Structure 1
């Protein structure tokens, strides 16, 4: 069920917005989650898919069968990134995202005292 009235669930409208979006916005739209191993290693949840990354299909007929190399990126769909093509730009993005996640964890929603009280 859709809760936000300003977001459409119409397939044709979503496709139109995707293909007509400028490249800096499309890059964010084209982000896919990282595998559990990469998530632990880099402390990053998702990255934009790029050519020469390796992905695994997680839904549909080809789910979980094999890991494939990305030849062309036109629409990310139901995949998990298993290996990144690391270059200086990708490393810079990973460092930036990991740093911001670390700041969020340090901030925290609860203080240590409140956590101890909740556990008692």
Structure 2
């Protein structure tokens, strides 16, 4: 039994709300989990990622690379762009690779 009748568990409605969310709600969705030390220090599990935060990728193809600064937070696509996470296009130019904020840890710099 549900405790709150205004909260739905319908998958299609939840997907609709996720993809049609306004910018101020997307900020909250685009949070990053904190490391165990930072969790104990601040008594919070995750925090929204901002531009100029120092983060480290902990999941995916680019994990384990050095700590880099967040260059851009792209709320429309639910991704962040990190300074050192780039790839080369076919024509030779380098572009930043979008990483989901839940796959990074904030570094020791800003926090």
Which TM-score applies when normalising by structure 1? 0.53
SS at match of 1:51: coil
Deviations 1:82-119 (A, max 9, x none): 24646xxxxxxxxxxxxxxxxxxxxxxxxxxxxxxxxx
Within the candidate set 10, 16, 19, 1:6 is matched to: 10
RMSD of aligned residue pairs (Cα, Å):
2.6
SS at match of 2:107: strand
Q: Return the structure number with greater strand share.
A: 2
* 1:53 and 1:83 in contact (8 A); partners too: no
Greater RCO between the two (CA within 8 Å, min separation 6)? 2
Is residue 27 from structure 1 mapped to residue 27 from structure 2 by the alignment?
yes
Instruction: Note the C-alpha offset of 1:42.
Output: 1.0
CA distance in 2 between partners of 1:24 and 1:54 (Å): 22
* 1:53 and 1:70 in contact (8 A); partners too: yes
Q: Number of aligned pairs?
A: 77
Is residue 82 from structure 1 mapped to residue 82 from structure 2 by the alignment?
no
Q: Return the structure number with greater helix share.
A: 1
Larger C-alpha radius of gyration, 1 or 2? 1
Deviations 1:43-92 (A, max 9, x none): 11100110111111111222112111111011151112224646xxxxxx
> After TM superposition, where is structure 1 displaced by more than 6 Å over at least 4 residues in a row?
none
